């Protein structure tokens, strides 16, 4: 071969750093777009006189769209490329958000939230694969963790901006903002975000070498004299859900999907119910919101630290430590005196490790699959995991209605994390032939 594809250094070109930065910013916008309905929900309920169940429909419609996008749109990234799917996702998010801003009824708004969710669900999986493939092996866990950390950062900043905009301009204004920003990113992605080198290397097309070298030039890399070696059957497996259940990947697929369901169940329980639990303890709604924000701030810090630790100790080992700390944090939060300063400590610790686990799983996913099924594997793990996000809050509501106290409920929701600990401990995260990221760098 005229030039080895595995250039030994871990350096990233400026163009690659910029491409990763664009992906991180996109994910930050996703964090805002997902939670914008939570920010605008009280104002919408007041304007349209919605019952709690009707408001719940609006909350769940976006989540349903995200699940469908992860399951059925994300696999397209393994067939047509990461870049086209990111562009399609941005268009869906922008169209859905702008349509939400002019909706005139509950069901119309719910439908527009599904459209936005489709784009966000596809993008979450696609961006994870894209950033993993832009980044050298040694820095991959850190890069993917930074990508996913942008999600809660977007939620925090979005909440601050939304509070001002809704009070000054009304609830429709935040949907306009959520639609305009993704639209502005479409030309940036089109002109500045090349296709993933790993994806191009995994495809066997007549103009494959020309397309690969064109992308390499845009990323500041030297050209190759021939296509890199490919895994047998790569084209046949590309974007195939059934490929995830072949003997080579079945174990990893079942374990990572089960882990996602368990973690999402506890995460969305904590995100949805923590403000209400604080208020039910006799504190104000403002304190409940502040506790929720602190959970997310803890998550940003915890996820950033996870990325640094995973670079040295690998993902599974770091996840196991985080999961044990998360179990302790959940139990402690349920038992803490919420009228004391310990409330803030417990909220921070719980968010640090619970969000850290979630984002840690995103860093693990790209390691489990080769380029031709990476986005498919990520999409299905994330999409099926959304079932846990639906079941968790509903189960908590039943438990609270049945008379269980906060200490018991938070302790019970530590059990899914314990089961996730058992499952993730059985995942092999060592680089393996045919499974390691084909960086083509």
> What is the torsion angle, in degrees rounded to the nearest 10, for the CA atoms of residue 318, residue 320, residue 322 and residue 328?
-160
pLDDT at 151: 83
In angstroms, how far is CA 379 from the centroid of its own chain? 10
pLDDT for 3 equals 37
Q: What are the tens digits of pLDDT across the range 193-237?
A: 888 777 777 766 667 677 777 777 777 776 776 666 665 444 445
- Token pair listed for 42: 């009280």
The domain limits of the chain are 14-203+238-424
Rounded CA-CA distance 417/357 in Å is 9
Rounded distance, CA 322 to CA 304, Å?
A: 13
pLDDT along the chain (441 residues), means of 10: 41 84 91 81 85 75 86 85 92 96 93 94 84 80 84 82 86 94 94 80 69 73 66 52 79 92 91 80 78 86 88 89 96 92 93 92 84 80 85 83 90 96 88 43 45
- Express each pLDDT in 97-156 by its tens digit: 999 999 999 999 999 999 999 999 888 878 888 888 888 877 777 888 888 888 888 878
- What's the chain's Rg over C-alpha atoms? 21
Q: What is the spatial distance between Cα 371 and Cα 229, in angstroms, rounded to a whole number?
A: 13
Residue 160 to residue 162: CA distance in whole angstroms: 6
Give the pLDDT confidence score for residue 439 in this predicted structure.
Answer: 40
pLDDT at 136: 80
Contacts 24+ apart (CB under 8 A), 406-411: 406/277, 406/280, 406/281, 406/334, 407/331, 407/334, 407/335, 408/334, 409/273, 409/334, 410/330, 410/331, 410/333, 410/334, 410/335, 411/330, 411/331, 411/334
CB count, 10 Å around CB of 50? 17
Stated as kind and residue range, the H or E segment containing 336 is: none
- As a CATH number, domain 14-203+238-424 is 1.20.1250.20
Q: What are phi and psi of 96, to 5 degrees?
A: -65, -45
Residue among 343, 351, 326 at smallest CA distance from 420? 326
Cβ count near 87 (within 10 Å): 17
Distance, CA of 248 to CA of 30 (rounded, Å): 33
CA distances (Å), origin 321, targets 129, 310, 431:
25, 11, 21
CA atoms of 184 and 113, how far apart (whole Å): 20
Nearest to 294 by CA among 340, 252, 355: 355
How many other C-beta atoms can be found within 10 angstroms of the C-beta atom of residue 4? Answer: 9
Q: What is the pTM of this model?
A: 0.76
């Amino acid at each position: 071969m005229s030039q080895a594809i595995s250039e030994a250094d871990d350096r990233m070109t400026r163009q690659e750093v910029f491409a990763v930065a664009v992906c991180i910013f996109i994910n930050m916008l996703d964090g805002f777009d997902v939670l914008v309905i939570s920010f605008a929900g009280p104002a919408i309920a007041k304007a349209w006189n919605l019952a709690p169940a009707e408001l719940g429909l609006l909350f769940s419609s976006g989540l349903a769209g995200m699940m469908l996008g992860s399951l059925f749109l994300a696999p397209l990234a393994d067939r047509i490329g990461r870049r086209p799917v990111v562009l399609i996702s941005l268009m869906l998010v922008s169209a859905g958000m702008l349509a939400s801003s002019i909706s005139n009824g509950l069901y119309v708004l719910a439908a527009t939230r599904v459209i936005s969710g489709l784009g966000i669900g596809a993008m979450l999986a696609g961006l994870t694969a894209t950033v993993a493939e832009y980044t050298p092996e040694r820095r991959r866990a850190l890069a993917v963790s930074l990508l996913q950390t942008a999600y809660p950062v977007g939620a925090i900043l979005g909440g601050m901006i939304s509070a001002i905009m809704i009070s000054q301009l009304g609830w429709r204004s935040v949907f306009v903002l959520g639609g305009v920003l993704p639209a502005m990113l479409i030309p940036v992605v089109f002109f500045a975000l090349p296709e993933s080198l790993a994806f191009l290397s995994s495809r066997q097309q007549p103009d494959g070498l020309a397309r690969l070298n064109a992308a390499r030039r845009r990323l500041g890399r030297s050209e190759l004299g021939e296509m890199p070696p490919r895994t047998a059957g790569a084209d046949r497996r590309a974007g195939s859900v059934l490929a995830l259940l072949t003997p080579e990947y079945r174990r990893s697929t079942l374990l990572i999907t089960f882990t996602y369901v368990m973690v999402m169940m506890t995460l969305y329980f904590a995100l949805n119910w923590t403000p209400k639990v604080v208020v039910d303890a006799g504190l104000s709604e403002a304190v409940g919101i502040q506790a929720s924000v602190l959970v997310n701030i803890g998550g940003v810090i915890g996820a950033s630290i996870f990325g640094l630790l995973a670079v040295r100790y690998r993902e599974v080992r770091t996840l196991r430590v985080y999961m044990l700390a998360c179990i302790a944090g959940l139990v402690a939060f349920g038992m803490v005196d919420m009228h004391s300063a310990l409330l803030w400590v417990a909220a921070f610790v719980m968010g640090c490790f619970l969000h850290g686990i979630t984002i840690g799983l995103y860093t693990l996913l790209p390691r489990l699959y080769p380029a031709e099924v990476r986005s498919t594997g990520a999409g299905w793990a994330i999409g099926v995991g959304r079932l846990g996000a639906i079941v968790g809050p509903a189960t908590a509501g039943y438990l609270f209605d049945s008379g269980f106290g906060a200490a018991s409920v938070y302790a019970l929701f530590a059990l899914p994390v314990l089961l996730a600990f058992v499952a993730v401990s059985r995942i092999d995260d060592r680089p393996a032939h045919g499974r390691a990221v084909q960086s083509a760098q």
